[in-house]
Amino acid sequence: LIYLAEKADEDEIREKAIFWLGQREGEKELKFLVKVAKSDPSSDVREKEVFAISQMKSDDATDELIDLAYHARENNAREKAIFWLGQKASKKAVEALEDVVNKDDDEEVQKQAVFALTQLPDHRGVPNLIKIARTHPSREVRKKAIFWLGQSDDPRALDALVEIMGK
């Protein structure tokens, strides 16, 4: 699979090999996927790498997704890593999403992290969204958090929206 992912002439074959490498869960496979996610000339293949890493259940895979969310060479790959962190929903992933929302230089990436917080199970992202809606320095990011709070059926979201609108 590594040979096909690295050497096949057609991106479609490489992408399929990458998918199955992500299902293998091994350390060797993870290291290969990370290498390709950071260096492959095809942006489509790099996106598939991020997805394949997201399918691995190890803490190391989550750490690599976090690293890609911060350091992937293009925003599209960073945004995909952020999206998949929201699906992981681990404490470490949530902390990374908060960090991206609050510290990243790119507003679009920040808004993607806001969306990822909405994907956490059991409304676990609502407190984060409320804080962002109240305090984030970017008006656009606050608006995005408010929008997603409005889509929530969590009573805390409604209370926060009423309070925010009252100001």
Opening angle at CA 123, ends 118 and 124, nearest 5:
90
Q: Is residue 161 very low, low, confident or very high in pLDDT (cuts 50, 70, 90)?
A: very high
Single-letter residue type at 113: A
Torsional sign, CA 15, 16, 21, 22: positive
At 162 the pLDDT is 94
For all residues of the chain together, what is the average pLDDT?
Answer: 92
Q: Cβ neighbours of residue 29 under 8 Å, at least 6 residues apart?
A: 1, 2, 21, 22, 56
Which one, of 69, 123, 115, 122, lies nearest residue 92 by Cα?
69
Q: Which two tokens stand for residue 20?
A: 């199955």
Percent of the chain scoring above 90 in pLDDT: 75
pTM, two decimal places: 0.85
pLDDT tens string 84-131? 999 988 889 999 999 999 999 999 999 999 999 999 999 999 999 999
The pLDDT > 70 percentage for the chain reads: 100
**Average of per-residue pLDDT across 146-165:** 94
Q: Worst-scoring range by mean pLDDT, 26-30, 37-41, 78-82, 156-160?
A: 37-41
Enter the tokens of residue 34: 């990370």
Cα–Cα distance measured from residue 88 to residue 78, given in angstroms and rounded to the nearest whole number: 15
User: How many angstroms separate the CA atoms of 19 and 73, rounded?
Assistant: 21
Q: Pick 38 or 27 by higher pLDDT.
A: 27
DSSP 67-108: HHHHH-SSHHHHHHHHHHHHHH--HHHHHHHHHHHHH-S-HH
Tokens coding 109: 């990436």
